[in-house]
Structure 1
């Protein structure tokens, strides 16, 4: 018998959920509000800052000083390019781990995931030297490779989880009908795991879009994405809070919009296989 949820309990859970959501979203809201203030008003106390005149002065100065379109296009190329490359590698790898019998599959997955636990700065020097010798510094190609490699363990792990929910008998029936390995992956497995692949793709785009460490270390101008665009407003002369807030708002707006319109697909994919 299902447990009855009282009205008071439902109200309390709703208030708690909205409170937690507001606390998580508050920094973004504050940055958005500060972006409409001048530098003089941005350093005032919170109540004085909110009461100060509103305007687009900071956005105008950011547009004048920086080429936002170039940074934006670099972010799109790096995030989408690394995601597609990661999926091209991860789908066959996850298929092999999910449907080819092996005693050490879980150990291999854990080892792959453990690479995400190492601080990135621990491999900065060898990575920098390799990129220098291969002439990949400040190039889109180099950053796409880096972002693919750093997010590949998560992509494989997520796809493996989704693929394990697909009955193996379906693939066996396809083999009996004469399907090749390529046809099995492209026309049987992939369409059945579309929700999981879509959510994995969205998550990887978000991770690549927000990647700051490697983009700041391996780029200067040509391949610099929006993380470099934001960092350019922190200088030895000090922090320009209003301009920094305007630049941050312009950088996170595209990914926020993408997440908002794709939230249904993202939630569906992340809960894929959670309920039997």
Structure 2
């Protein structure tokens, strides 16, 4: 029998949820506010910042100084390209682990996840030297490969979890009907796991979009995404809060909009198989 939830408990949970949401969203809100202020007003007390005049001067300056759309398209290509490549590799890998389990499946999964525990700076030098020798520095192809590799463990783990929720009898029935391995993965398994695959795709696009360490160290200008675009406004000569906030707002706006419109699909995918 389900336990009754009192109105007081509902109110407490609602208030706590709103407080957590405000705490998470406030830094983004403040960045947006500062982006519409002059440099002089941006460093004033919070109440003075809110009541001071609003202006688009910082956005105009940022656009004049940097080619925003070039950085934007680089971010789109890198995030979408690395995610699609990761899915192409991860779907067969997750299928093999989920439906052809071996004694070492859990060990392999834990080993893959352990690679995320290594600080990126620990492998920066060898990867930099490899990219330099292969001519991949400051190239989209090189960054797509790196972003694919760093997010691949997460993609495999998520897809493995979703695939495990699909009854194996369905795949056995497809084999009895003459389905090949390729047909089984593409025409049977993948359509049934669409919510999980969609949430995996969205989450990894966000992770690749926000990746800063590798994009700052392996690019200079030609393949620089929006993370490098933001970093260019952090100057040792001074703190330019308004311009930095404008650049940050322009960088996070596309991914915030995408997250807003895809939140239902993301939640549906993350809870896929949670309720029997």
TM range, normalised to the smaller chain? over 0.9
TM-score by length of 2: 0.99
Q: Which residue of 2 aligns with 1:134?
A: 134
> Whole-Å Cα distance in 2 between the matches of residues 76 and 2 of structure 1?
46
5+ long unaligned stretches in structure 2: none
2:214 partner SS: helix
- The reply on whether 1:236 has 2:236 as its aligned counterpart is yes
Q: d(CA) in 1 for partners of 2:242 and 2:121?
A: 30
Q: Secondary structure at the match of 2:112?
A: helix
Are 1:145 and 2:142 an aligned pair? no
More displaced 10-residue stretch of structure 1: 5-14 or 219-228: 5-14
Q: Deviations over 1:224-263 (max 9, x none)?
A: 0000000000112122100000000000000000000000
In the alignment of these two chains, the number of paired residues is 276
How far has the Cα of 1:6 moved from its partner?
A: 1.1
Q: After superposition, where does 1:55-94 map in structure 2 within 5 Å?
A: 55-94=55-94
Alignment map for 1:1-276 (pairs within 5 Å): 1-276=1-276
1:85-126 CA-to-partner distances (Å, cap 9, x unmatched) read: 000000000000000130110110000000000000000000
**Scaled by the length of structure 1, what TM-score is found?**
0.99
Q: Which runs of 5+ in 1 are unaligned?
A: none
For the residues of structure 2 that align with 1:98 and 1:76, how far apart are their CA atoms?
A: 31
Counterpart Cα distance in 2 of 1:7 and 1:233: 49
1: CA distance, partners of 2:156 / 2:78: 19
Classify the secondary structure of the residue corresponding to 1:53: coil
Give, in angstroms, the shift of residue 264 of structure 1.
0.3
